């Protein structure tokens, strides 16, 4: 056991340093996302979704840095990552709408002016929608029409269509009227 520890002392120390630094960066990013979410009055599920994205980013960075620490050369890592990204790129090209919806979900997190509970109207010539936002997910919005119908509306389309705010916090206002 001592031979293993003393033989790889630098790698073990670097591993702990990398993990500690990435843990601190992760906490800072999560606090920042939480602060932005609270300042923008975003629903907690949207903030938790950003936490998932932050975790994925930190994990990818950790794998890369730990591979460098344990002796993989930059050329080896470049080959592995370029091969993986080529395969992922071909696969994602086939399902590009998923990527566009995830990207739109991130954009909606930071700049969507409507909140959960807002009554909106989507100006779409093929399918005009007037509904209350029930939830905002990574790929789509849950919209509830006045007839009680649940519509899942893709995030990338909500960024492409004109949207009007009819009533702010419709569900909350409705509950206040009942009191």
Q: What is the CA radius of gyration of the chain?
A: 22
The percentage of the chain sitting over the pLDDT mark of 70, rounded to a whole number, equals 89
Residue with tokens 């591993």: 15
Q: State pTM to two decimals.
A: 0.53
Q: How far apart are CA 64 and CA 103, in angstroms?
A: 23
Which strands, in side-by-side order, build the sheet including 129-136? 150-154, 140-145, 129-136, 119-123, 162-167
pLDDT per residue as tens digits for the range 14-73: 999 999 999 999 999 999 988 988 888 878 888 888 899 899 989 988 988 888 888 777
139 neighbors 105 (Cβ within 8 angstroms):
yes
Please indicate whether residue 158 or residue 179 has the higher confidence score (pLDDT).
158
Of 137, 139, 133, 140, give the one whose Cα is nearest residue 113: 133
């Amino acid at each position: 056991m001592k031979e293993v520890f003393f033989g790889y002392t630098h790698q073990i120390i670097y591993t702990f340093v990398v993990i500690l630094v990435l843990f601190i960066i992760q906490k800072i990013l999560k606090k920042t996302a939480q602060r932005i979410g609270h300042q923008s009055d975003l629903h907690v599920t949207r903030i938790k979704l950003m936490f998932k994205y932050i975790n994925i980013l930190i994990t990818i960075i950790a794998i890369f840095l730990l591979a460098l620490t344990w002796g993989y050369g930059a050329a080896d890592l470049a080959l592995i990552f370029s091969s993986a990204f080529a395969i992922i790129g071909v696969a994602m090209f086939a399902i590009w709408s998923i990527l566009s919806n995830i990207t739109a979900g991130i954009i909606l997190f930071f700049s969507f002016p409507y909140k959960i509970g807002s009554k909106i109207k989507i100006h779409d010539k093929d399918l005009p929608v007037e509904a209350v936002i029930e939830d905002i997910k990574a790929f789509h919005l849950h919209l509830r029409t006045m007839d009680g119908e649940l519509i899942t509306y893709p995030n990338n389309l909500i960024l492409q269509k004109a949207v009007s705010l009819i009533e702010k916090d419709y569900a909350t206002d409705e509950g206040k009227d009942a009191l």
